[in-house]
Amino acid sequence: MSNIKKIVLITMIFTLSLFMVACKKDVKDSLSKTEETTEKYAKDEDTDISLYIASDNSVTATFVSSFDKYYYDKKELEEMVDKEIADFNENLAGDPLNGISKAGFEVKDKKVTLKIKFINYYDFNSYSRRYIDPDKELTMFVGDYDSSVAANISINSTIYLTSDDSAMNLEEIPTSGYRIFYINTNMDIEFEGEIVGVNENVTVDGNKVSTKEEADNYVIIK
């Protein structure tokens, strides 16, 4: 499991873990007991994260977490999620009036599934660096060629066409309606649109890809 998946406990779970400790039936009021339970929770917790990139370049992150040994109340749990989203929009969103939003929330079969929609890659990067792994400089980008230049994203490796594995002519990208996606960590990502090219670090399965940890990962979508 990647670092981002292991430490994603600090994302939506950064807030939720504290809630879970508070709601555990046999939790004691003492601080030492709370700290002990929190540590045990972190070891037991298992979270997966995946991304969906829409044609408008918005990003939906799905967090799936197992809480096999803990009691929770769905309503209160969702309220904690809503508060974290509100705090992010007030303090970190590029546009506080049009920031991140809850796209789905479900508690079923001892699993919590949370979907958060990000209007743009910028807000996802900010969220990741604040809640997922503050010590890691995760960088993600999705947009057209001109936007990639403005964001200092340049394609520094060969792009191979998914149709026949031949090298793609990068000179076509600025004027042919392609979108460029970049990420520097491993992730499972689904795209709305046709994946026409990737670099050697990316594995393709239909309109989904898996990227490589601590590497430059490029996907060209049309």
How far is it, in rounded angstroms, from Cα 72 to Cα 18?
Answer: 11
Domain boundaries, position 176: 140-221
Does one domain contain both 126 and 157?
no
Does one domain contain both 175 and 157?
yes
Count other C-beta atoms under 10 Å from residue 46's C-beta: 15
Query: Phi-psi bin for 165: left (phi > 0), alpha (psi -120 to 50), beta?
Result: left
Whether 119 has a pLDDT exceeding 60, the answer reads yes
Decide: 148 and 154 in contact? Cβ < 8 Å: yes
pLDDT tens, position by position, 186-222: 999 999 999 999 999 999 999 999 999 999 999 999 9
* pLDDT band (50, 70, 90) for residue 61: very high
The SS3 of residue 90 is helix
pLDDT at residue 72, rounded to an integer: 64
What's at 160, amino acid-wise?
Answer: Y
Domain end position, chosen among 132, 155, 173: 132
Q: Which residue has the higher pLDDT, 94 or 45?
A: 94
How far is it, in rounded angstroms, from Cα 46 to Cα 67?
Answer: 8
Domain end position, chosen among 86, 103, 132: 132
User: What is the percent of the chain with per-residue pLDDT over 70, rounded to a whole number?
Assistant: 77
DSSP for 108-152 reads: ETTEEEEEEEESSHHHHHHHIIIII-TTS---EEEE-HHHHHHTT
Domain end position, chosen among 105, 132, 159: 132
pLDDT at residue 28, rounded to an integer: 39
pLDDT tens, position by position, 151-179: 999 999 999 999 999 999 999 898 889 99
Q: Beta partners for 175? A: none
Does one domain contain both 17 and 48?
yes
Does one domain contain both 118 and 184?
no
Q: Which residue has the higher pLDDT, 35 or 75?
A: 75
**Which of 5-14, 137-146, 153-162 has the lowest average pLDDT?**
5-14
- Write the CB contacts of 163 (distance below 8 Å, at least 6 apart in sequence): 196
